[in-house]
Structure 1
Amino acid sequence: DPVSSRPCTPACRICFGEGTDGEPLIDIGCACKGDLARVHEECMMKWFEASGKKYCELCNAPVEMLKRLKTPNTTPLAPPMPQLRWYQRPDMVSYLLSCGGCCMTFLVVFLGFAAVVFASDIWPSSGKRTSLIAKLLLP
């Protein structure tokens, strides 16, 4: 039988991979014994970081290796952002600026049109007084 003829090699209890020179299996430091206590350091750190627990889920003992090991990838958390008022949030600032820009554009166009209409009523180009609106609407 090929399965029984192979030597039993210890495997990581998380990824089931064998230990190598680059990634040896370490004892997790809980009450588990034998192969249940062996893991890759990286597997253990990812597992406990994802679960958020500080104890072994099999034996419920605290994991001593978590206290001794520090991952090189951990960076200190940034301080929490202060709570911004609704008008200080970046999305609201851009919204308010775009609304203000639209209002200013409308105002400039409206005042320009009103000035042209008013000027055409005051200074007609021919002898008769005809407004610009009448010129536009009537052929």
Structure 2
Amino acid sequence: MPPTVDRDANAALRARFDEVHARYTHLRENVGELQRQLAGLEVSLASPDGTVTVVVGARGQLLRLKLHERAYGAHRPDRLAELITQTTRKAEQAAAEATAELVARAVPGETGVPELLRGGDLGALLRRHDDTMGYQEA
């Protein structure tokens, strides 16, 4: 007996494949531009009193630190160190958000990658894909 063919199921599967392939192609075509944008991303942030300015890169790495000449007179050394640290942390958070925004333009939101960059929760990303795939732990 010849096997039956479900033409509607095949057509739906083909349409889904075409959609996934188009998204992948779009990502591959734009990954070079995304990498250039991320490599050039700099976030500059000043402390509330303007005595400390930090510039960080896309991964939050400190690129430059500028101390206003009045920083030394306005703050004790331990307070100045704390102000540098606080300002750097805020700049790191801003850089993470800017990075996530750039990635969200290139990577489809339903992949969970932009949220991973924002929150750093790999478990949430995996649970999202598990739900999509119907995976359950044994």
What TM-score results when the alignment is normalised by the length of structure 1? 0.27
Q: Which protein is richer in strand relative to its size? A: 2
Structure of greater relative contact order (alpha carbons < 8 Å, 6+ residues apart): 2
Q: Which protein is richer in helix relative to its size? A: 2
